[in-house]
Amino acid sequence: MTNRRTFIKNLSMLTLGGIANQSLMASNALPTPSIAAATGSAAKKKMGLQTYSLGQELLQDLPNGLNRLAQMGFTDLEIFGYQENTGQFGDYNPKNTTFVSAKDYKKMVDDAGLKISSSHLTPSVREYTKANMSKFEDFWKKATDIHAELGVSYMVQPSLPHIANEDDAKQVCEIFNRAGEITRQAGILWGYHNHNNEFKRVLKAGEKPNENPNPWAPPKGTYIEELFLKNTDPDKVMFELDVYWAVMGQQDPIEWMENYPDRFKLLHIKDRWILGDSGMMNFPNIFKKAYEIGILGYYVELEGDKKGRTQFEGVEKSAEYLRNADFVK
Ligand code: MG
% residues pLDDT > 90 (the chain) = 81
pLDDT at 126: 96
**Closest by CA position to 91, among listed 101, 82, 78, 104:** 82
pLDDT at 226: 98
Is the pLDDT assigned to residue 101 strictly greater than 70?
yes
pLDDT at 22: 41
Find the 209 Cα to ligand 1 centroid distance in Å.
31
Find the 296 Cα to ligand 1 centroid distance in Å.
16
Measure the CA–CA gap between 185 and 7, rounded to whole angstroms.
8
Find the 272 Cα to ligand 1 centroid distance in Å.
11
pLDDT tens digits, residue range 241-267?
A: 999 999 999 999 999 999 999 999 999
pLDDT at 209: 86
Is the pLDDT assigned to residue 206 strictly greater than 50?
yes
Find the 299 Cα to ligand 1 centroid distance in Å.
8
Measure the CA–CA gap between 206 and 203, rounded to whole angstroms.
8
pLDDT at 288: 98
Give the pLDDT mean for 44-49.
94
pLDDT at 164: 97
Find the 36 Cα to ligand 1 centroid distance in Å.
27
Identify the residue with better confidence: 103 or 6.
Answer: 103
Backbone angles phi, psi at 49, to 5 degrees: -135, 135
pLDDT at 26: 39
Residue at 53: amino acid letter: S
Find the 215 Cα to ligand 1 centroid distance in Å.
32
Is the pLDDT assigned to residue 14 strictly greater than 50?
no
Find the 263 Cα to ligand 1 centroid distance in Å.
17
**Do the Cβ atoms of 283 and 259 come closer than 8 Å?**
no
Label residue 216 by pLDDT band (50, 70, 90): confident
- Give residues with Cβ within 8 angstroms of 129, minimum separation 6: 171
Is the pLDDT assigned to residue 44 strictly greater than 50?
yes
pLDDT tens digits, residue range 111-150?
A: 999 999 999 999 999 999 999 999 999 999 999 999 999 9
pLDDT tens digits, residue range 284-317?
A: 999 999 999 999 999 999 998 888 999 999 999 9
**Do the Cβ atoms of 147 and 134 come closer than 8 Å?**
no
Measure the CA–CA gap between 47 and 15, rounded to whole angstroms.
19
Is the pLDDT assigned to residue 25 strictly greater than 80?
no
Find the 166 Cα to ligand 1 centroid distance in Å.
24
pTM above 0.85, yes or no: yes
Find the 268 Cα to ligand 1 centroid distance in Å.
5
In DSSP notation, 45-71 reads P--EEEGGGTTHHHHTTHHHHHHHHHH
Is the pLDDT assigned to residue 237 strictly greater than 90?
yes
Label residue 6 by pLDDT band (50, 70, 90): very low
Label residue 37 by pLDDT band (50, 70, 90): very low
